[in-house]
Structure 1
């Protein structure tokens, strides 16, 4: 009886919200895939698939050339890797003159956009089904160990390049650091790295995530015991609600903005409200519960560790009771760091700890007002970040 009453109440509230929310004419890009959005701006796009050693099928999106310099020819290769809840769309959701994928294509780069296992575009496996919890038995450890090396080893022979430029945002930096710690031979395949909102140490994280982090292991066990392996999936329903709730004309759009600020930090002047529904329709893009848990573990620790399976699980997996640390000293390629003072997830104090251990940081830029999400969505992303990324890479193009 109580369950029925609760269901009626939820449905009733949903009906009230539906009535309160104005009918939107539809926000641009909400129902388009990343390749379709790229095409809509007139850029060429290719879809590629690569299999990892443990059987996941990853989808890569390529912009081989830009509008200003058309045609295939020798170009430096750039690989862009998204954050925890993101996808290849992270790099194309902004206006064309503020979205890094288009900017780099027009600057003469062969641009590749990665998609980690489990997100909207990489939900395939050679034997496992996403409806099976075994599909979701991974954290970002596995993304670093399998996904990123497989992606690099596919992109380089496909393009004929010896090495590539790398741009990582948030988790895209985490998995890069972890990969080179375990496989330092990949330093030879990277020319330079731009680290946007880098995340390794996270003990000073603020906001909503720091409140939840102390309970993250219990939440992980509870969800796993219930057969839940995926968190924040991206589907037609979530995209529909994003358009209804976060459209600029919605009465509830203020809550969308508040949620983003609570998670990543406030910077209202840099959020394009016209694109908010598009942003929230594509992000979150889906990931595993364990990946979220892994970052929660970093927040409650003082190091940069592999996934903590508990003392007994660690003994089985690592041969020791504590998870091993990643070694940032193995990241030998030139690194440029871009951080934000208002970033709740990559706090400047944690970024400084990371910078101290990286042996070849050649430039650090800290932006006074930037929050976490601004590095991909900011109104002035080009002026504050991307033109400096291009200048940094230019020093290593020849």
Structure 2
């Protein structure tokens, strides 16, 4: 199957330029820093090492293009944290008048974008290689315990700020709740938290992940048997293939649209087809198999809990037959939630469950578009009007 996809990609690469007369979107196959530089925003690349040795890459837009770098006006730092199988690119894959990172930079914020262990930008370690099984022995629980605290500390140390604003999307919210459970002292380092498509409980999720949850034990055994520990990290050839196949001027773009709809729900009206090649050459950005199976376990159990290794290893790791549940009452920082009725991954019932358990939800907005899906929070054509203007208003109020 892999060889067939590669062969099809080579054919398409050889034919597409002649048939289209032009290249695909100029940002297809570009990295996050390259995308930012394309729009002439200042960009910095930083690296931070976690307590357990993972080297994470951070991307920064220190100021907007409307404000000179020499300005003495203080810019509060804000950290944007991406979703499952995503990267920092999710916040810059649109024009500057619509993408969240640029809007925040032009509104006076010092914008930082994190990348968790195992994605495109964070596949280095002080002693391990991604070719080793040991490198991939983590789920989002470790991202909450190690990655997010390391990122927050680095941003605060670099900016000399007392605290920062935080915007998490999907898994970016999951690891935030997990961090506050394990390291509640970080409540003092976050001024306010914004959750887009917030995910803790996923028992009412729909789509392929929900259907796969009943087979999570089999998936874990098969992955272990075949020695597969990394999940969905596309290489150069596949990215090139997608940049042409998903171009809005090519008939195969319909397949790309349908692939997205199958994963996250359908909202054709909000699909930004012009940027489709950019989306799909940056996403999926890869993660560990355990990160995905951790979510599958939670869909099956209906609980928000740590990784279930099985009775024997649970006793070894947790001194209990069962994985401990996360305590959301420890998240005392002010929280704003943005959810939608057509979100397959952050389903309304699960978001309400989360809202009721968080002790300091100060704002909750349901997106007005009834068809708004999970990925629309970062990919929708009108996310600026439907979501971001309210995010900016909330942040300004606080």
**Which of 14-23 and 259-268 deviates more?**
14-23
Tell me if structure 2 keeps the 8 A contact 1:68–1:106.
yes
Partner of 1:162: 162
Partner of 1:65: 63
Give, in angstroms, the shift of residue 373 of structure 1.
Answer: 0.3
Partner of 2:139: 139
Partner of 1:332: 332
- TM alignment of 1:284-363, pairs within 5 A: 284-363=284-363
Distance 2:259 2:2 in 1: 25
Distance 1:110 1:219 in 2: 41
Tell me if structure 1 keeps the 8 A contact 2:49–2:150.
yes
State the SS of the aligned residue for 2:336.
Answer: strand
1:226 aligns with 2:226: yes
1:32 aligns with 2:30: yes
State the SS of the aligned residue for 1:195.
Answer: strand
Alignment CA distance shift 1:7-1:88 (3 Å) = closer
Runs of 4 or more above 2 Å deviation: 6-24
* Unmatched 5+ stretches in structure 2: none
Tell me if structure 1 keeps the 8 A contact 2:48–2:55.
yes
Distance 2:24 2:382 in 1: 25
Tell me if structure 1 keeps the 8 A contact 2:331–2:359.
yes
Tell me the C-alpha RMSD between the 2 structures.
1.8
Matching residue within 41, 44, 47 for 1:46: 44
Give, in angstroms, the shift of residue 13 of structure 1.
Answer: 6.5
Distance 2:25 2:390 in 1: 31
**Which of 111-120 and 19-28 deviates more?**
19-28
Aligned residues: 391
Residue by residue over 1:51-100, the C-alpha shift from the partner in whole angstroms, topping out at 9 and shown as x without a partner, is 00000000000100001122154211100000011101010001211111
**Normalized against structure 2, the TM-score is what?**
0.94
Residue by residue over 1:151-194, the C-alpha shift from the partner in whole angstroms, topping out at 9 and shown as x without a partner, is 00100010010000000000000000110011111000000011
Give, in angstroms, the shift of residue 102 of structure 1.
Answer: 0.4
Alignment CA distance shift 1:39-1:204 (3 Å) = same
Distance 2:234 2:353 in 1: 34
**Which of 182-191 and 28-37 deviates more?**
28-37
Distance 1:48 1:80 in 2: 14
Alignment CA distance shift 1:20-1:141 (3 Å) = same
Distance 2:176 2:147 in 1: 10
Partner of 1:174: 174
- TM alignment of 1:93-242, pairs within 5 A: 93-242=93-242
Distance 1:48 1:362 in 2: 33
Tell me if structure 2 keeps the 8 A contact 1:166–1:190.
yes
Tell me if structure 2 keeps the 8 A contact 1:120–1:234.
no
Give, in angstroms, the shift of residue 389 of structure 1.
Answer: 0.7
**Which of 201-210 and 223-232 deviates more?**
223-232
* Unmatched 5+ stretches in structure 1: 1-5
Tell me if structure 2 keeps the 8 A contact 1:82–1:88.
yes
**Normalized against structure 1, the TM-score is what?**
0.94
Distance 2:363 2:32 in 1: 31
Partner of 1:3: none
Residue by residue over 1:250-281, the C-alpha shift from the partner in whole angstroms, topping out at 9 and shown as x without a partner, is 22211111111111111111111010011000
Distance 2:356 2:392 in 1: 24
Distance 1:293 1:347 in 2: 19
State the SS of the aligned residue for 2:242.
Answer: helix
